[in-house]
């Protein structure tokens, strides 16, 4: 006998407790930063002739933030509405766990990115970072889509956000890695975390819900809304937290070209792998985005449009081939039930992106970057921020970095980019394993095997009596026409 | 016998007359402002070394304007498509009355905000303000949705925009109130105006259209497009016309946190009030937005993320409870038929926002705001703009403000915020009453009680013969497969 | 016997060959520009005290670029989903040909706009220009929608992009025409090119697919997503590549007012031309946008809100009348089968826009523009860019321009705007003719007459078995309710 899926007490209790904890922690730990605080901003303005209004980071980052925000809530939310009877849950649970994750991520990232006299400072950059971390959780959501209760998803988010912040801290602050668009921190991490969770939650009898685990005509169109928004705004995603000026500009452009090339590869291989040469919506909806993932690390470097297009083309190719040939094997052999195929959209392209980033970093030279090389590949420890683990960090720096100059050289930099990928994979798989085991406890109201991919379990679903009304309408509209004539 | 609903003469006549009037008034009254006029901008640039291109207000405000624009046309438009047979009208009439209102609002607000030598000056700020005023009309539209003809809606817009401008003038220019995100001027005003109109237009036999006054599966997904866009861009809405720099940055961030907390409250209480613990799309679509409304006044103040989250959580809670328990009572006891439940989304959260704004203003101190306090709580009469009622205004200022300094002190400021709420409620209810009575005249082609919530009355609706074609398709596609093999 | 429509080899082959060519050409010809190159940007910064980060063109143009990007992929893509069984193709082929066109356009425009030491320089402005050129291809796509294979569409894009770049070069660089929003270069060109192509591809037996050449209820709502996004972001489209400061600001505002007036005209005439006074979704979806097209040339000039509203009102009027009275005649008399009615949305309003631009240019005076007149109506040859045809160009300049000052005078300027329209029409019709003849070859897998407007030919279309599942759902959800209670 399956456990009850009634959410009446479990969901409200969890939501309210979490929000109260968040509010208390925000009340004690969070402060405005220099650019959002009325007093600090006006003081800085008075002390410096160069602090004009337009130099507030808001004007450099806010348009990018809003694009990222659209990707998180519309992009991810609607991308997952492709299932015929799971649209409410796709958009709705996406909404819920994103709204929670961005708050929790602000705290976790704030703690690890460096406290200021014991306080977390917030502004548009922390908002973007929180959205990024949320993106990682939503990627994992794609793997377990249709097979989890909202309570399970919130619990997963708690653990994943926390581990995301730890991994990000190791990569960015200890290894000094570059990963502006998050090929490693967001995509690789989110994908392998989610794949491990769905592996642990393996359902041998999932085929009882098989008839719902597919799309219908209109649900595929709703999903295309998600796809197109992700595709269009990915240049903003990858460039949102790069340095000001040329890096932000260049990153957006590299991503634009990578995605364009990726799209042609996707259409090409989607038709090629189909016996009748017909295009598959699953590929178009997903693989066309792989180009954005794959330049998430190298996009801010001098990858060039040429390099970006090659990377994008490769990403689209492996993504389509993954959907066609790898996903079925993962399910049958490795018992990984990956609803949205996140391995093909975020997993493999994320790893590709990390490798490309590593190579591009190793090839960096002052001839190419000019004075920009110091901005792109800075010294390890940013001494301007207080980090709790400062002493350990300094010691690690001496082990890894070029001792004489105190700076990275491109070759060692490339090596650390590669190590970052390995660490990310390890953290994701380990974290996913633990989280999966926790989610396996029979206390969260998970759907029974016969009721997966079904909104009716957790939502009041309106009757689809349209067609009957239709008839009624036809009858009455005749009357109306008489009236209106 | 019901009156004819034929729009053939009424709608074209009204649209054309209105547009001709608008064009004539624009021709005689409207001029480019300093930042949009080729001559003035270039003169200013030449006279001042500091007027660089990037200082044109376009670059500070245009991204926010576009986000607000999306909220008005996609946000409001699609939010109302939840009805199964009223999607064309929801998006379409929203489009029509918004396109009219923004033109009319430019004139009305231009007149009351201050003429320049008898001319109205326009630029991106006037565009945002016009969109804001339009938002108020669309809120009222939500109350009468499905029960009004397009002619009635245009007539409502004429009166509501006019009164909005008067009320806004009283609040901002006479009382010197702060209300950047419009908790009072937009949400409270629009909601109570609309509720009064629908009260006057009460239809005792509306249950004859009951079967259409509900959603179907896909219509709820279309509505979620509206919801998510409103939710994402609300930070831009509240910050669009604040001062440059820290206030704009802070307002966006406070709104972001308020909405996140509101979303968790909405999911919690939606499940809690349902006997089976199932989530209700009506709540998710609407109540999750209440957090944006409720920080519309205080968001630009030093409310902090902590304060914003508390306000958002409260707003989500009262909004869900309103939908569940208050709306049925309003209809049965007070005869207020509120189709979209604007009382829960805009009414109560708007009042909450006004109260929060009043308290936050009263608590303001130079210790918290530093030099920023002068920007946030300026002297009453802005001497840089010509106001027609200048002499009366000066007298009122002497009565209300701190005579010695000529400035507001925070406590009196808080008081005036509260008075502003009372005035807004009075203006909205009175204006709604008058407008409702005018709309009751049987000359507008309003739908009969049996044909409410029905697109077919005012639109050419295509036959829904898809399912029959489907069968045909299956037959023919078999042939096609033969062809394509 | 119809040819096979199987895309298995044709589409992949074409996509891969095209992308490989693009990659090779980008590798040999394309370089970062001053604002995207790490070395150049940092050098410029060091040499000049005034080159601050915020002066990177990214911050002036990127928000506009993203709005334009949304118009290209969501706007055009969803606008065409109105067909009941062609949603996958509308969004999907739009996606494919746009992704190809923007890459090809970067090369073609880069070549004609001026090489830098034999290299094409890219940045956000080239991205916007590439999107603009893509828009022109998508307009033509609207004429042949439902009647072409994806291979045909890609071939059309190759030719159209190339010719677009030539025409744009003639207009902007040789004639020195102003056309920031592309009334001529984008809309007129794309429309008449597409109309000529569809004329050449005339199908006498298209009525065999007639039952699919119409909308259903939900498909019209999807199309409204496209309409509304185009409408909202048109101000960004027209202002995206104007000069910084007042022109960008003014263009956005003029477009905003033109569209608002156009919308009222559209509703008015849509009701007026219907015997029952009912509104037609075809008009609302399309004609309401004509106001944006019609101020594409004059929008950056001192047209004023007043002038913009008159132009918008006229555009909406002729567009509705075109849909009602002209389109049927074009089909029956001239054998032009224009699926989306691009003649009414882009053709006539584009010509109107060109005429308005010509008149507005001729009326320009230093009294109105002040020092801005030099920015708006610059000398012919921009000496700061290398143009391959420089010597020929100089000679042409001497023929056309005011010899004494070396500058245009407004009257000659107006004349050249008019000549530009004539050239555009000629180029479009000639190019469309040639391209149409090429597309007529029976090698592209075009759909047979019985299978036009049908996704199933080129897409794996999911079964629409929802209603049967529905019944199953009702049965099982009863069980679930027992479980969950």
* Nearest residue in chain C measured CA to CA from A446: C484
Minimal C-alpha gap between B381 and chain A (Å): 23
**For residue A371, what pLDDT is reported?**
79
What confidence score (pLDDT) does residue A176 get?
Answer: 83
Give the Cα separation of C99 and C268 in Å (integer): 37
Q: Is the pLDDT of residue C482 over 50?
A: no
Say how far apart CA A146 and CA A4 lie, in whole Å.
17
Tell me the C-alpha to C-alpha distance, in Å, between residue B121 and each of A40, B22, B60, C253. Answer: 34, 15, 18, 12
CB atoms C39 and A245 under 8 Å: no
Chain C interface includes A228 (CB < 8 A): yes
How far is it, in rounded angstroms, from Cα B414 to Cα B376? 13
Instruction: Sketch the domain layout of chain B as residue ranges.
Output: 11-239+389-453
* Residue whose C-alpha is closest to residue C484's, from B278, B281, A462: B278
- Cα–Cα dist B57/B65, whole Å: 11
B442 touches chain A (CB under 8 A): no
pLDDT band at C414 (very low <50, low <70, confident <90, very high): confident
Q: Which of C149, C235, C260 to mutate to test the interface with B (most CBs of B within 10 A)?
A: C260
Task: Report which of A129, A95, A108 is spatially closest to residue B259, judged by C-alpha positions.
Answer: A95
User: pLDDT tens digits for C135-156?
Assistant: 999 999 999 999 999 999 999 9
Chain C residues close to A273, C-beta within 8 Å: none
Confidence of residue C406 (pLDDT cuts 50, 70, 90): low
Of A312-321, B3-12, B459-468, which range is least confident? B459-468
* Dihedral sign computed on CA atoms, order A429, A166, B254, A384: negative
Give me the total of CB pairs closer than 8 Å, taking one residue from chain A and one from chain B: 253
| pLDDT computed for residue C407 by the predictor | 59
Report DSSP letters for A78-131, one per residue.
Answer: HHGGGBTT-HHHHHHHHHHHHHHHHHHHHHHHHHHH--BTTBEEESHHHHHHHH
- A contacts of B272 (beta carbons < 8 Å): 8-9, 12
For residue A61, the chain B residues in CB contact (below 8 A) are: none
| pLDDT for residue C118 is more than 80 | yes
pLDDT beyond 60 at B469:
no
**How close is the nearest chain C Cα to the Cα of B294, in Å?**
26
pLDDT, position B113 = 80
- From the number of C-beta atoms within 10 Å of its C-beta (0-12, 13-18, 19+), residue B48 rates as exposed
- Which of C216, C306, C376 comes nearest B462 by C-beta? C216
Q: Do C451 and B6 touch (CB under 8 A)?
A: no
Contact C460 A85 (CB under 8 A): no
State the smallest CA–CA distance between residue A1 and chain C in angstroms. 9
| CB atoms A263 and C95 under 8 Å | yes
Nearest chain C CA: its distance from B165 CA (Å): 19
CATH 3.30.10.20 corresponds to the domain C10-468 = no
Q: Is C482 on the interface with A (CB under 8 A)?
A: no
Nearest Cβ partner of C376 from B35, B38, B150? B38
Q: How far apart are CA C449 and CA C446, in angstroms?
A: 9
Find the helix packing angle between B246-272 and A87-113, rounded to 10°.
130
Find where tokens 């005869």 sit. B335
C374 pLDDT band, cuts 50/70/90, is confident
CB contact under 8 A, C252 and B56: no
How far off is chain B from C309, nearest CA to CA, in Å? 6
Mind listing the pLDDT tens digit for each residue in A224-248? 999 999 999 999 999 999 999 999 9
The whole-chain average pLDDT of chain C stands at: 90
Q: What mean pLDDT is reported for chain A?
A: 90
What's the rounded mean pLDDT across residues A361-371? 87
Cross-chain Cβ contact B264/A99 below 8 Å: yes
Q: Do A84 and C6 touch (CB under 8 A)?
A: no
Contacts of B378 in chain A (CB under 8 A): none
Contact status, residue A363 vs residue A235, Cβ threshold 8 Å:
no
What per-residue confidence (pLDDT) applies to A46?
63
The pLDDT of C271-293, averaged and rounded, is 97
Residues of A in contact with C66 (CB under 8 A): 63, 67, 232-233, 235-236
Kindly state the average pLDDT of the residues A468-475.
43
B11-239+389-453 carries CATH number 3.30.470.20: no
User: In this predicted model, what pLDDT tens digit does every residue of B138-195 receive, in sequence order?
Assistant: 999 999 999 999 999 999 999 999 999 999 998 988 888 999 999 999 999 999 999 9
* Block residue for tokens 């090779």: C24
> A485: pLDDT confidence band, cut at 50, 70 and 90?
very low
Task: Indicate yes or no: CB of C250 within 8 angstroms of CB of B53.
Answer: no
The region that residue A2 occupies, defined by phi over 0 for left and psi between -120 and 50 for alpha, beta otherwise, is beta
Query: Which of C18, C30, C460, C476 should we substitute to test contact with A (largest number of A Cβ atoms within 10 Å)?
Result: C460
Identify the three-state secondary structure at position A193. Answer: helix
| pLDDT band, very low/low/confident/very high, at A466 (cuts 50, 70, 90) | very low
**CB–CB of B485 and C274 under 8 A?**
no
Q: Do A271 and C70 touch (CB under 8 A)?
A: no
The pLDDT value given to residue B46: 64
A462 with B214: Cβ contact below 8 A: yes
User: Across the A/C interface, how many CB contacts are shorter than 8 Å?
Assistant: 253
Does the distance separating the beta carbons of B127 and C211 come in below 8 Å? no
Query: How confident is the model over A317-327, as a mean pLDDT?
Result: 98
Nearest CA in chain B to C62: B63
C375-389 pLDDT, tens digit each: 777 655 554 445 566
Judge contact between A324 and A291, C-beta under 8 A. no
Chains in contact with A, where contact requires at least 3 CB pairs less than 8 Å apart: B, C
Placement of tokens 């990984």 in the chain: A336
Question: Is the model's pLDDT at C47 over the cut of 70?
Answer: no
Lowest mean pLDDT segment, chosen from A152-161, B355-364, B396-405, C365-374: B396-405
Judged by CB atoms closer than 8 Å, whether chains meet at A39 and B376 is answered as no
- Using one digit for the tens of pLDDT, what is the confidence trace for B111-144? 988 788 899 999 999 999 999 999 999 999 999 9
Asked if the model's pLDDT at residue C340 lies above 50, the reply is yes
Mean pLDDT of the C347-356 span: 98
Amino acid C468: pLDDT: 42
Largest CA distance in chain C: 91
Cβ of residue A127 closer than 8 Å to a chain B Cβ: yes
Lowest mean pLDDT among A33-47, A144-158, B58-72, B434-448: A33-47
Contacts of A268 in chain C (CB under 8 A): 11-13, 15-16, 19
Averaged pLDDT, B96-106: 98
Q: Can you tell me the ipTM of this complex?
A: 0.93
- A215 forms beta bridges with A83
pLDDT of C157 reads 98
Q: How confident is the model at residue B474 (pLDDT cuts 50, 70, 90)?
A: very low
Q: What is the 3-state secondary structure (H, E, C) of chain C?
A: CCCCCCCCCHHHHHHHHHHHHHHHHHHHHEEECCCCCHHHHHHHHHHCCCCCHHHCHHHHHHHHHHHHHHHHHHHHHHHHHHECCCHHHHHHHHHHHHHHHHHHHHHHHHHHHCCECCEEEECHHHHHHHHHHHHHHHHHHHHHCCCCCHHHHHHHHHHHHHHHHHHHHHHHHHCCCCCCCCHHHHHHHHHHHHHHHHHHCCCCCHHHHHHHCCECHHHHHHHHHHHHHHHHHHHHHHHCCCCCCHHHHHHHHHHHHHHHHHHHHHHHHHHHCCCCCCECHHHHHHHHHHHHHHCCCHHHCCCHHHHHHHHHHHHHHHHHHHHHHHHHHHHHHHCCCCCCCHHHHHHHHHHHHHHHHHHHHHCCCHHHHHHHHHHHCCCCCCCCCCCCCHHHHHHHHHHHCCCCCCCCCHHHHHHHHHHHHHHHHHHHHHHHHHHHHHHCCCCCCCCCHHHCCCHHHCECCCCCCHHHHHHHHHHHHHHHHHHHC
Instruction: Name the A residues in 84-123 with CB < 8 Å from any C CB.
Output: 84-85
The distance of C426 to chain A (nearest Cα, Å) reads 31
Residues 248-267 of C with CB under 8 A from A: none
Rounded to an integer, the average pLDDT of A376-405 is: 58
Average pLDDT over residues A53-62: 93
User: What is the rounded average pLDDT of the residues C450-454?
Assistant: 96
Closest residue in B to C464 (Cα–Cα): B470
Chain C residues closer than 8 Å to A369 by CB: 38-39, 42
Contact check, Cβ <8 Å, A246/C42: yes
> Who's near C439: CB < 8 A, 6+ residues apart?
C148, C152, C155, C156, C197, C200, C201
A469 to B85: CB separation less than 8 angstroms, yes or no: yes
What band does C469 get if pLDDT is binned at 50, 70 and 90? very low
Q: Is a pLDDT exceeding 50 seen at residue B476?
A: no
pLDDT at B467 over 50: no
Chain C residues with CB-CB distance to A281 below 8 A:
88, 92, 459-460, 462
Residue A391 in this model has a pLDDT that exceeds 70: no
Name the residue among B8, B19, B36 with its Cβ closest to that of C264: B19
Contact C32 A225 (CB under 8 A): no
Distance CA B359, CA C11 (A): 65
Hey, are the CB atoms on A466 and B467 less than 8 Å from each other?
no
Give the closest residue to A72 by CA, choosing from A288, A219, A236: A236
- For residue A170 the two structure tokens come to 């190791």
The reported pLDDT for the residue numbered B400 is 60
Q: Which fold has domain A29-459?
A: Ammonium transporter fold (1.10.3430)
State residue C466's pLDDT score. Answer: 46
Give residue A470's pLDDT. 46
Closest CA of chain C from A43, distance in Å = 22
Closest CB to C56: pick one of A246, A451, A464.
Answer: A246
Q: What is the mean pLDDT of residues A371-382?
A: 66
Closest Cβ–Cβ partner in B8, B476, B483 for C272: B8
- For B66, which of C233, C259, C375 is closest by C-beta distance? C233
- Distance (Å, whole) CA B363 – CA B367: 11
- Asked whether residue C423 carries a pLDDT value surpassing 90, the answer given is yes
pLDDT tens, position by position, B198-226 = 999 999 999 999 999 999 999 999 999 99
pLDDT computed for residue C174 by the predictor? 80
- The count of residues in chain B is 485
């Amino acid at each position: 006998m399956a456990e009850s899926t009634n959410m009446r007490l479990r969901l409200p209790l969890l939501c309210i407790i979490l929000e109260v904890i968040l509010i208390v922690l925000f009340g004690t730990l969070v402060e405005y930063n220099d650019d959002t605080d009325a007093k600090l901003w006006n003081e800085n303005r008075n002390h410096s002739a160069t602090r004009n209004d337009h130099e507030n980071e808001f004007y450099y980052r806010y348009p990018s933030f809003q694009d990222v925000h659209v990707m998180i809530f519309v992009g991810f939310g609607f991308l997952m509405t492709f299932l015929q009877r799971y649209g409410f849950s796709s958009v709705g649970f996406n909404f819920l766990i994103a709204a929670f994750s961005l708050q929790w991520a602000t705290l976790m990232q704030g703690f690890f990115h460096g406290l200021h006299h014991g306080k977390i400072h917030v502004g548009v950059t922390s908002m973007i970072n929180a959205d990024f971390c949320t993106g990682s959780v939503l990627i994992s959501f794609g793997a377990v889509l249709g097979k989890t209760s909202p309570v399970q998803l919130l619990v997963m988010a708690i653990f994943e956000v926390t581990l995301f912040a730890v991994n990000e801290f190791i990569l960015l602050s200890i290894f000094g890695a570059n990963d502006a668009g998050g090929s490693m921190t967001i995509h690789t991490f989110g994908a392998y975390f989610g794949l491990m969770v769905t592996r642990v939650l393996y359902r041998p009898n999932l085929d009882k819900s098989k008839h719902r685990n597919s799309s219908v005509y209109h649900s595929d169109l709703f999903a295309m809304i998600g796809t197109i928004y992700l595709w269009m705004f990915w240049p903003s995603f990858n460039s949102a937290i790069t340095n000001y000026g040329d890096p932000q500009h260049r990153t957006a452009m590299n991503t634009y070209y990578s995605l364009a090339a990726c799209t042609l590869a996707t259409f090409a291989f989607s038709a090629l792998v189909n016996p009748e040469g017909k295009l598959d919506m699953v590929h178009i909806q997903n693989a066309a985005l792989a180009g954005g993932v794959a330049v998430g690390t190298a996009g801010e470097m001098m990858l060039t449009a040429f390099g970006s297009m090659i990377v994008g083309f490769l990403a689209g190719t492996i993504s389509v081939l993954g959907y066609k040939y790898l996903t079925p094997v993962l399910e049958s052999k490795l018992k990984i039930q990956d609803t949205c195929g996140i391995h093909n959209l975020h997993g493999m392209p994320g790893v590709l992106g990390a490798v490309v980033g590593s190579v591009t970093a190793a090839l960096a030279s002052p001839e190419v970057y000019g004075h920009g090389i110091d901005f792109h590949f800075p010294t390890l420890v940013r001494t301007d921020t207080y980090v709790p683990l400062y002493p350990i960090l300094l010691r690690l720096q001496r082990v890894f970095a070029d001792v004489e100059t105190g700076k990275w050289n491109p070759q060692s930099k490339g090596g650390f980019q590669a190590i970052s990928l390995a660490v990310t994979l390890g953290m994701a798989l380990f974290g996913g394993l633990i989280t999966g085991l926790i989610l396996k406890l029979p206390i969260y109201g998970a759907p029974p095997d016969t009721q997966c991919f079904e909104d009716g379990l957790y939502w009041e679903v309106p009757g689809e009596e349209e067609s009957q009304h239709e008839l009624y309408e036809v009858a009455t509209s005749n009357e109306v026409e008489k009236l209106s004539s």
